[in-house]
Amino acid sequence: MIVTVASGKGGTGKTSVAVNLALSIENVQLLDCDVEEPNAHLFLHPELLKTEPVYTFIPFVNQELCDHCGVCSKFCQYHALFTSPNNVLVFPELCHSCGGCMIVCPKKAITETKNRIGKLNFCAAEDLTLVYGELEIGKPMSVPIIKAVKKQMDKSKNVIIDSPPGTSCPFIETVRGSDFCVLVTEPTPFGLHDLKITVQVLRKMIVPFGVVVNRAGVGDNKVYEYCQQENIPILLEIPYQRKIAELYSRGIPFSQEMPEWTEKFQTLYSDIGKLVKK
């Protein structure tokens, strides 16, 4: 299966759930698509096998061929090109690499050039393989790196994907194609607010999902009431417990120090499989 672990808001414990789930089952590949701040490797301490750069393609204007007609600038919906009487300016951070400017240029003055936006890291931690992307500082678009990470997916393995928080384009690109999405939330007003938004998005995407409640025991019961009203399965509760928090702060997956949680995460994965088959 391809299981994505996501959350409507940051700080709910999404990565902790993804890592502990990956460590509790066999034949696993973990993809960290939270490329703006990847941190699964901080818990796994893996061996780095290799890195690969990630590029997008941006326009390169041959000023000798260009007659500054402005057709390319008018075509670009993202305003990545600006034409003046004497020059054409390219703004790489706005370019979506569609290639349309090359097609519409009447003088064929535009070609593509590489623009490095980040890198992929390929790692191994015992029997688990990890691939995570890193967006370079100052680069605004994470979706191309998320796509690059997902291209490394090994469908012969059980794939666990750590999603970026929120419900914008990076989340949608990460969840696309998943068999199931685990939504990690917390029993607080903020947790409930963002959970509702994420549920709306997943229902439009027609991706099955269930909820893991982290820090259970704090806040109120409104998350539970909402899930009951919306017929959303609560797959697991992780209590608000000092030992779990201490292990997390030391970068140790709590299932490794608390063996009973390995069984609970195995049961979680089994329950997900039953929901996918329905």
200 lies in the same domain as 254: yes
Q: What was the pLDDT predicted at 31?
A: 98
CB 248 within 8 A of CB 258: no
Same domain, 248 and 167: yes
The pLDDT confidence band at residue 62, using thresholds 50, 70 and 90, is very high
Which of 83, 116, 149 finishes a domain? 116
What is residue 277's predicted lDDT score, i.e. its pLDDT? Answer: 86
Residues 109 and 170 in one domain: no
Domain count, the chain: 2
Whether residue 164 sits in one domain with residue 262: yes
Instruction: Read off the pLDDT of each residue in 65-87 and give the average, rounded to a whole number.
Output: 96
**Residue reference for tokens 């300016």:** 89
What percentage of the chain has pLDDT greater than the value 70? 100
Residue 277: Cβ within 10 Å count: 8
Q: Is-contact 100 88, C-beta < 8 A?
A: no
- Would you tell me how many other CB atoms lie within 10 Å of the CB of residue 85? 6
Q: What is the domain-level CATH number for residue 82? A: 3.30.70.20
19 and 70 inside one domain: no
Q: How many Cα atoms sit within 13 Å of 241 on the Cβ side?
A: 9
CA torsion 264-265-266-272 (nearest 10°) is: 110
Q: Do residues 91 and 175 share a domain?
A: no
Q: Examine the domain organization and report whether 23 and 62 are in the same domain.
A: no
Query: Which whole-number Å values give the CA distances from 6 to 60, 101, 105, 132, 194, in the listed order?
Result: 38, 36, 42, 16, 11
Per-residue pLDDT at 10 exceeds 90: no
Name the amino acid, one letter, at 211: V
Between 219 and 115, the higher pLDDT residue: 115
- 260 occurs within a structural domain: yes
Q: Is residue 128 part of a domain?
A: no
Condensed to tens digits (0 to 9), the pLDDT of residues 85-123 reads 999 999 999 999 999 999 999 999 999 999 999 999 999
Answer whether residue 48 is part of any domain. Answer: no
Enumerate long-range contacts of 193-202, CB under 8 Å, 24 or more apart.
193/8, 194/7, 194/8, 194/9, 194/166, 194/167, 195/8, 195/223, 195/226, 196/8, 196/226, 197/8, 197/167, 198/6, 198/7, 198/8, 198/167, 198/171, 199/230, 199/232, 201/167, 201/171, 201/172, 202/175
Q: Is the pLDDT of residue 175 over 90?
A: yes
In a domain, 124, yes or no: no
Q: For 204-215, how does the pLDDT look when each residue is reduced to its tens digit (9 = 90+)?
A: 999 999 999 999
Domain shared by 80 and 184, yes or no: no
Assign residue 212 the CATH number of its domain.
Answer: 3.40.50.300
Range of the domain at 82: 56-116
pLDDT exceeds 80 at position 278: no
Domain shared by 169 and 260, yes or no: yes
- For residues 171 and 272, membership in a common domain is answered with yes
User: At 136, is the secondary structure helix, strand, or coil?
Assistant: coil
Looking at residues 59-85, what average pLDDT do you find? 96
Which residues sit opposite 110 in a β-bridge?
Answer: 61
126, pLDDT greater than 90: no
